[in-house]
Structure 1
């Protein structure tokens, strides 16, 4: 768990080839301090080919703004857009799909 996108990105960069430390899934909020979800994804897409494992990314937000949803759909590294609050059934489905 990280408080902001920059902290999360630094962790991923530090552990590029560590399959144990790298997460299987990232639940990424749009609104975070220092580096928001979209800024994180701009950097994540650049390092994704260097990662030692596949990481599935979901954008999570309370925003129902069609612009946010469309912007998310344009980023191929994001699997889906989830509107908060996240229902337990949705989380179970995400985990089962791994």
Structure 2
């Protein structure tokens, strides 16, 4: 595949959850409401400032793929259902190949 084959726009939303149970709950909520076609869960270790101290924690990262029309709904749903007081919600536009783009937008 040529680089020009990867010019189809989709969005990637990233958040973390405290554990697999909360991550799966959030992922299933987004999937059942058909806001997303796919989410990848990965165990990670985070280092961060919280309440004046440097902390280290094991978390689960969610990499959520969605179409442009659902980005705001996905971010709002994460904010409403997240277990953290201040959840990480980051999103950006990415390029995908034509077939993957079609699949993301078919959900």
TM-score if structure 2 supplies the norm length? Answer: 0.24
* Structure with higher RCO (Cα < 8 A, 6+ apart): 2
Is the radius of gyration larger for structure 1 or structure 2?
Answer: 2
Bigger share in strand: 2
What TM-score results when the alignment is normalised by the length of structure 1?
0.26
- Which structure dedicates a bigger proportion of its chain to helix? 1
